[in-house]
């Protein structure tokens, strides 16, 4: 399901407000190019993420991610791309504002704080919880299934990683389309 340009503009404005709360200044061009990834599900307020990519080349990437309250970036992993000599993405998440609940492979947390969308719950299989508050960070190794959710006020998270090839991400939910479609 595609988003309209009006919807994209609305969510870009919301993301800019969250980044401002976190004390992160953007240029006009960065504000205008915030990616609103609704993942083709038509439920951005539940499942999606806003992204500002500062830099991305064959070696490293720097970006900001904005999650509105209780919004989930669904379970995924970054696969290797042998023809690009890309062995999968290693990424460090650093919480700048709010709280983010990050889930990775490992021993499942008995009572996790996050609640992914119930109509998609079967697509969430990793439940080892890491709670990130402002200043906390966690590094996700390559080839690791993970997902994350903003807390009750949302979250702003900086990501520092090896090359980002998000268009090639593998999602556990077969309905997800990583590249957003926008109706003008």
Secondary structure (H, E, C), 80-99: CEHHHCECCCCEEEEEEEEE
E strands present in the chain? 3-4, 35-37, 49-56, 60-67, 72-77, 91-104, 128-132, 137-140, 146-162, 170-171, 182-183
Residue, of 167 and 81, whose pLDDT is higher: 167
How much is the pLDDT for 15? 98
Q: What is the pLDDT of residue 86?
A: 66
Q: Residue 85: its pLDDT value, please? A: 66
Q: What is the mean pLDDT of residues 25-37?
A: 95
**What is the share, in percent, of the chain residues with pLDDT greater than 90?**
80
**For the whole model, what pTM was predicted?**
0.94
The half-sphere exposure of 138 on its side-chain side, counting CA atoms within 13 A, is: 19
Q: How confident is the model at residue 71 (pLDDT cuts 50, 70, 90)?
A: very high
Residue 135: CB atoms within 10 Å = 8
* pLDDT tens profile 81-111: 776 666 889 999 999 999 999 999 999 999 9
Domain that holds residue 139: 3-183
Contact 66, 98 (CB under 8 A): no
Query: Per residue in 139-153, pLDDT tens?
Result: 999 999 999 999 999
Q: How far apart are CA 62 and CA 149, in angstroms?
A: 20
Spatial separation of the C-alpha atoms in residues 79 and 168, rounded to whole Å: 7
pLDDT of 184 higher than 90: no
pLDDT at 5 > cutoff 70: yes
CATH code of the domain containing 129: 2.60.120.10
d(CA 179, CA 40): 8
Residue 127 has pLDDT above 80, yes or no: yes
What sections of the chain are H helices per DSSP? 5-21, 28-32
Total structural domains in the chain? 1
Establish how many alpha carbons lie within 13 A of residue 166's alpha carbon, considering only the half-sphere containing its beta carbon: 23
pLDDT at 136: 98
């Amino acid at each position: 399901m595609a988003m309209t340009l009006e919807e994209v503009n609305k969510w870009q404005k919301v993301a800019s407000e969250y980044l401002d709360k976190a004390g992160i200044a953007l240029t006009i061009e960065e504000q205008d190019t915030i990616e609103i990834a609704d993942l083709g599900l038509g439920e951005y307020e539940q499942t999606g993420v806003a992204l500002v990519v500062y830099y991305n080349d064959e070696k490293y990437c720097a970006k900001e991610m904005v999650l509105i309250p209780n919004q989930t970036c669904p379970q995924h992993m970054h696969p290797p791309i042998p023809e690009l000599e890309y062995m999968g993405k290693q990424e460090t998440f650093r919480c700048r504002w709010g709280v983010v609940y990050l889930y990775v492979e490992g021993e499942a947390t008995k009572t996790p704080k996050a609640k992914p969308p119930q109509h998609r719950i079967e697509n969430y299989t990793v439940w080892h919880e890491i709670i990130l508050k402002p200043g906390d960070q966690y590094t996700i190794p390559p080839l690791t299934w993970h997902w994350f959710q903003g807390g009750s006020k949302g979250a702003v998270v900086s990501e520092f990683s090896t090359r980002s090839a998000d268009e090639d991400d593998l999602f556990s939910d077969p309905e997800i389309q990583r590249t957003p479609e926008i109706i003008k």
